[in-house]
A and B are shown apart, each in its own frame.
Chain A
């Protein structure tokens, strides 16, 4: 399953709820303001690392990272995709949930 999160982790609880529901082997894509969750040294870093350690694949949409100037401090192990990569993630997962 693909989980899409678009909320800043310091403003809303969408990422926390997503992490509570994401099963082993599932994928999380961070877009829009959620890309702030991939920042090295932030308080969210440990949560993201814990998720990846649970075999959850974490991606961030790089056009959104770049728009916000956050492209140089991405936590190791988080993969970056562009819009065509976003399309592939949706196609490759059997269902998709947007954590609005």
Chain B
């Protein structure tokens, strides 16, 4: 199923991110997905060598999840493949019945564990969306016809609502919509006012947006994100709030509460939530319970 169908039915679309390991042991990932995510989110994003760290591939992991009865979203970045490989992987996804895509430019190579690698960026997020749309129309980027029935996907992309240059981000968002993007997931949001203001401007594009959440595990992680992660800013009072967590040794409960609160505050302004738990999949059911979001009717 394409998740665009859910948006069309006015469902509040819930997704969570899972990262393949460096290695082929997927048992843990599959077990967590069944235990914590299957009845709580509609689809699972599978990251593509996230943060430029080499891991098992997103497409293969998507296929494994699909065989497990879960709905995967294939994340594709432009960092490691040129347009030939990208289009080929998109067709491979169609072959394997993977119908949901999230199309990204990708982090730079030097940020990851193979800083020596050649950065590709032959295409970028906008031209990749365009390339997928062309394939859906029956042609590749070079204008050659694709044999047989063309594939059909739900084409997604990302945007940073809390970026310090949100006007530049909105311009890029518009380009993505024009290229054929059908839904957005956002970078992690900690400032509901900024998000709501962003949504007021983004509304004009008429494309559904899922609020992105990164579970704030502890103070150190928030400080790190503030210094290093683009488009993410954890306000001081939230960091204070998290400090209390450690005192009471509540082991992450505050982060969970914060996420639930963010959902409650932003829910009416967006069309879904995307949770990046960074290994804390087991906390996702609590977050959704606290936010008053019921399990998914299957």
A binds B: no
Q: Which residues of B come within 8 Å of A, CB atoms?
A: none
